Amino acid sequence: MRKFYQMIFGVLVLSALLLSGCTGGTDNKTVETDPGAGTVSSPPVQEETPSEEESSAIFVTFEGTDLEGNTVSEDVFTQSKLTMVNVWATYCNPCLREMPGLGELAAEYDGSEFQIIGIVSDVREGEDQALVESLVQQTGANYPHLLLNDSINNAFMGSVSGVPTTFFFDGEGMYLGGVVGSAEKSEWEELIHGLLEES
């Protein structure tokens, strides 16, 4: 199964229409599907006791607040077969360029099949979120966006070398892999379709 995920994530690298991310001025896209290796290391997460079959399974625990003031935790993963967690920043043009496509994807899929959660990496809970709300509205990224706090920082940000960074989790909250850099909607669609077929 891991080879399937490596092949699917590899499609994004090989088809690279947009190779940009906010990583100190270099354009790149890096894929990581083997926890502990690559540019995106496995999230520094709390691991559950794995079965023999899933000895490398990684699970994330976190709690945060979305723009509506709702509490969101790792339980959100159980609401969908596949969850895409997209870490972005208000200053990141590649992030903002891909968000309209992500908004379209979020609207096109049934929430029980696929969902997107955004994490705003440069605005903390309790700070002025007017800019975030404005950017979400301008880009049509109408899916939940979480503001940064210590819990989210500990769960995700240690694995983020640049934005956007995207993580995928299955319906049990198991980490499937990550992508550093932005992508076209069609590239995300191909990856999402493959992951859903495998689930």
105's enclosing H/E stretch is helix 93-108
What is the tens place of the pLDDT at every residue in 24-82? 433 334 444 433 333 333 343 333 333 444 446 889 999 999 999 999 999 999 999 99
Q: Across the chain, what does the average pLDDT equal?
A: 81
153's enclosing H/E stretch is helix 150-156
Residue 181 near residue 13, CB atoms below 8 Å: no
Q: Which residues pair with 148 in a beta bridge?
A: 124
Cα–Cα distance measured from residue 84 to residue 130, given in angstroms and rounded to the nearest whole number: 24
